[in-house]
């Protein structure tokens, strides 16, 4: 049956009213539902980190901090520098959540109390210390260290273990054919060298580049290059913290890995600009030189994984140095699952600088 014009208009009007009522009902339900169940808000987690030294050796950590990668992971991270002895004690009694320092102090400290910490990420493939000579070091050879002396760190310091391993690899016998001064406090070591003590001094960056800038000495050799890949520092936390805060450890590792990716795609000058606020007492050119030296030597890791071979190599060196009596199995202390997850999920794409607009573009675009 055909409908007349008036009836057709009435029918269409009724349909429109029904559609309008249905639309209002749907919108109202959505509003009520959103009011009853607000979107979940990720909780910001506070993370306390203690580091053993403020050095470009730990550069990825500072990049993650100043580039906002920790904040991206909903972490409020505080970084404090203190002695390695204090770090191990702070881990034991809960005054820090995460520690970044030498493996010797974290794992093989016989005076430490409480459960043994676990390692979950690393920043560097090898030791970051250098030997500085008093004069031009262009013709340096390790064999010429015979009957010479070196101002080093404490005997149980991880970099000191790396130095002794380098000496042994080059045919020297630490503390026999070469004398190493272990008893000079860190704050007095460079002053003692300037005053005439020792033929060489062992320094990290930026102290090495700073000493060169002041003509106190010249870098003669890299300890890490001589020993090869050997993890000497790592991030550690107590087993209880890792178990209860696994998501925090994962987010922390994600931020570190993103910083490592960033570092692989940016220059030393760009990196220095980012981290300069954390090195207020270091001249910008000295900071750039420090970063470039580490970059050229390939000191930093491209990811947070702790390789078994690298870990075992450090243990063997520590045992040879007389600092440990029995090894700690890799499987019992290293937890690479957080680093593996970060590698699988975290990406970084470098943003290309946008071209500057000319006057016409600024006005009409």
- Identify the helix (H) or strand (E) that includes residue 93: helix 84-93
Tokens of 121: 């990420």
Indicate whether 363 belongs to any domain. no
* pLDDT score, position 32: 46
User: What's the farthest any 2 CA atoms get from each other in the chain?
Assistant: 117
Q: Which residue has the tokens 């993650």?
A: 64
Model-level pTM?
0.85
Number of domains in the chain: 2
Apex CA 30: angle with CA 25 and CA 34, to 5°? Answer: 150
Q: Are residues 92 and 237 in the same domain?
A: yes
Per 3-state DSSP, the chain is made up of helix, strand and coil in percentages (nearest 5) of 50, 15, 35
For position 137, what pLDDT does the model report? Answer: 75
Return the pLDDT at 104. Answer: 86
Indicate if 112 and 240 belong to the same structural domain.
yes
Whether 39 maps to a domain, the answer reads: no
CB contact at 8 A, 167 and 174: yes
**311 and 238 belong to one structural domain:** yes
230-253 pLDDT tens trace: 999 999 999 999 999 999 999 999
Distance CA 155, CA 202 (A): 13
Which of 227, 256, 285 terminates a domain? The answer is: 227
pLDDT at 203 over 90: yes
Whether the per-residue pLDDT at 13 is higher than 70: the answer is no
Within this chain, do residues 68 and 146 fall inside the same structural domain, yes or no? Answer: no
Do 257 and 337 fall within a single domain?
A: yes
Return mean pLDDT, the chain.
Answer: 88
Distant-in-sequence contacts of 61-66, Cβ < 8 A, 24+ apart:
61/100, 61/123, 61/256, 61/259, 62/274, 62/275, 62/278, 63/259, 63/262, 63/263, 63/271, 63/274, 63/275, 64/255, 64/256, 64/258, 64/259, 65/278, 66/274, 66/275, 66/277, 66/278
* The pair of three-digit structure tokens given for residue 66, joined into one six-digit string: 């100043």
CA pair distance 15, 144, nearest whole angstrom: 98
What backbone torsions phi and psi does residue 220 show, to the nearest 5 degrees? -100, -35
Collapse the DSSP code of 322 into the 3-class scheme (helix H, G, I; strand E, B; otherwise coil) and give the result: coil
Q: Does some domain include residue 17?
A: no
> CATH number for the domain including 146?
3.40.190.10
The whole-angstrom separation of Cα 92 and Cα 88 is: 6
Question: Does residue 320 fall inside a structural domain?
Answer: yes
Residue 206: asked if its preceding bond is cis (omega within 30°), the reply is yes
Same domain, 142 and 111: no
| Domain's final residue, options 227, 258, 284 | 227
| Chain-centroid distance, C-alpha 8 | 75
Instruction: Check whether residue 197 and residue 326 sit in a common domain.
Output: no
pLDDT at 259 over 90: yes
What are the φ/ψ torsions at residue 130 (nearest 5 degrees)?
Answer: -130, 155
Give the end of a domain, one of 205, 227, 249.
Answer: 227
Do 158 and 194 have their domain in common?
Answer: yes
Mean pLDDT of 38-54: 84
Domain hosting residue 179, numbered range: 130-227
Q: Which residue in this structure is represented by tokens 């003669």?
A: 220
């Amino acid at each position: 049956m055909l409908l007349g014009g008036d009836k057709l208009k009435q029918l269409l009007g009724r349909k429109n009213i029904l559609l309008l009522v249905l639309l209002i009902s749907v919108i109202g339900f959505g509003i009520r539902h959103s009011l009853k169940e607000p979107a979940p808000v990720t909780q910001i987690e506070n993370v306390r980190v203690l580091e053993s030294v403020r050095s470009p050796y730990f550069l990825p950590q500072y990049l993650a901090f100043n580039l906002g990668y920790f904040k991206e992971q909903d972490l409020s991270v505080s970084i404090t520098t203190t002695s390695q002895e204090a770090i191990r004690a702070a881990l034991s009694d809960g005054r820090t959540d995460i520690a970044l320092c030498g493996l010797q102090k974290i794992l093989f400290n016989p005076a430490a109390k409480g459960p043994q910490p676990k390692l979950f990420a690393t920043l560097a493939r090898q030791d970051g210390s250098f030997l500085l000579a008093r004069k031009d070091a262009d013709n340096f050879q390790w064999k010429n260290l015979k009957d010479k002396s070196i101002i080093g760190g404490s005997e149980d310091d991880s970099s000191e273990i790396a130095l002794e391993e380098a000496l042994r690899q080059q045919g020297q016998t630490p503390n026999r054919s070469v004398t190493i001064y272990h008893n000079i406090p860190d704050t007095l070591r460079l002053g003692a060298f300037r005053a005439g003590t020792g033929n060489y001094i062992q320094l990290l960056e930026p102290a090495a580049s700073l000493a060169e800038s002041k003509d106190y000495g010249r870098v003669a050799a890299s300890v890490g290059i001589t020993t090869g890949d050997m993890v000497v520092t790592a991030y550690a936390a107590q087993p209880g913290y890792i178990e209860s805060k696994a998501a925090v450890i994962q987010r922390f590792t994600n931020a570190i890995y993103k910083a490592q990716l960033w570092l692989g795609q940016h220059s030393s000058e760009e990196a220095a600009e980012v981290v300069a606020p954390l090195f207020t007492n270091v001249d910008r050119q000295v900071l750039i030189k420090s970063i470039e030296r580490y970059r050229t030597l390939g000191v930093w890791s491209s990811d947070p994984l702790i390789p078994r071979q690298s870990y075992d190599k450090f243990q063997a060196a520590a045992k040879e140095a007389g600092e440990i009596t029995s090894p700690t199995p890799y499987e019992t202390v290293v937890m690479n699952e957080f680093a593996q997850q970060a590698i699988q999920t975290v990406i970084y794409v470098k943003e290309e600088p946008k071209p500057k607009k000319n006057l016409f573009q600024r006005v009409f675009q």
